[in-house]
Amino acid sequence: MLPRPTHSLLAWRLFRPLPARKSLSNPHAALPRDAPPSLVSCRRYAFNPRRPQYNRFQAASALWRTSPSFRIGVAIGGSGVVVWVASNIEKVPVSGRWRFNCVSEGYEAKLGRMLYELEMEDLQGQLLSPSDLRHKMVGKTLARLVPNSGLHGDWEYHVVDDPDTINAFVLPGGKVFVYSGILPICENEAGLAALLGHEIAHNLCHHVQENASLPYLQSLIVGLVSIFWEDSARLTQQALNYGLELPFSRLQESEADYVGLLLMAQSCYSPEEAVRLSERMEKAGGTTIPQFFSTHPSDKNRIKRLQQWLPEAMQRQSQSDCAETNELSDQFKQALQSHMGQAVPEMVGKEDENDFNWF
């Protein structure tokens, strides 16, 4: 048997006897007592679970404890972020909700024009003629809603001939698109007013600006978290999606329901029709995903909230010119009834909002 070298690490590895067993929990037990110190240190670094390693959180914590300049930099940067966020906090019209918005109305208007051009290009040959009865009814409803919204601009409206699509939206700048597939669900002018009131409310609350501002806030949060936790950007983005982006979207939809309900009531439409429209939308919607994963509140929650807001909407309607209009309508019906000697149908004086046939 050859003598075992004691000074050469390479020779020792070639001629070392095999250990009886290896234990990952205690790797040094597998080494003979005369193992070279260099190998022992290598094994200690390779197998020791407590070995020193780079950790961004630990590095930032150490800098915070030991570096005054680092603390000063963090304080200055944090103060700047707080001032920037605070300077872009504003109150939403009508609802009074406080929100973060760092996008100007000019950018919103420019985005609206760009989206309008794209929509008109995509929908060539699919728009109903202005002489179509459905197109006229949309215009009649908007003529009552828009003046009460306080919004100005060059309003345009189009009805898309697509019976399979249930959709409607209002782009910034007053560009209205209504798909014919949603009209049968509206059933009448008041239902259409509830739909358009909701979409106009999105513009009245400038939700486009808020949505354009949200990525700035998300990037700020992701950047701050990544300072302390390495490779956390993807996980943080997913957490923000379910914890910030989707809840904000549902909040905006509920806000548009609330503002749209008040808008239609102030425009002398029956606010109860908004509840009935939501019930019809629930039946037409079929299977839906859970609210937590959706951009919209569930139909049941929307209906419940609308019912809770009805008293306020009725009060808003009684304080508007609708009260005087309804009183004159009642007087007219009473005079006509006394002259004819028979009851006058309830449809008289309600501007035919419930008798329109979409088909």
Q: What is the pLDDT of residues 252-285, one digit of tens each?
A: 999 999 999 999 999 999 999 999 999 999 888 7
pLDDT confidence of residue 25: 46
Nearest to residue 263, comparing CAs of 195, 352, 189, 210?
195
Q: What is the pLDDT of residues 226-243, one digit of tens each?
A: 766 766 667 777 888 888
- Give dist(CA 154, CA 140) in Å, integer: 16
CB 16 within 8 A of CB 32: yes
State what percent of residues in the chain have pLDDT above 70.
68
Supply the pTM of this predicted model.
Answer: 0.73
pLDDT confidence of residue 173: 93
The answer, yes or no, to whether residue 336 has pLDDT greater than 50, is no
- Give dist(CA 277, CA 257) in Å, integer: 12
Considering 189, 199, 210, 255, which one is annotated as catalytic? 199
Q: In this structure, what token pair is assigned to residue 106?
A: 């000019």
Comparing 15-24, 149-158, 190-199, 284-293, which segment has the lowest mean pLDDT?
15-24
Q: What is the pLDDT of residues 152-193, one digit of tens each?
A: 888 999 999 999 999 999 999 999 999 999 999 999 999 999
Count CB-CB contacts under 10 A for residue 277. 24
| Mean pLDDT, the chain, integer | 79
pLDDT confidence of residue 54: 47
Q: 199 catalytic, yes or no?
A: yes
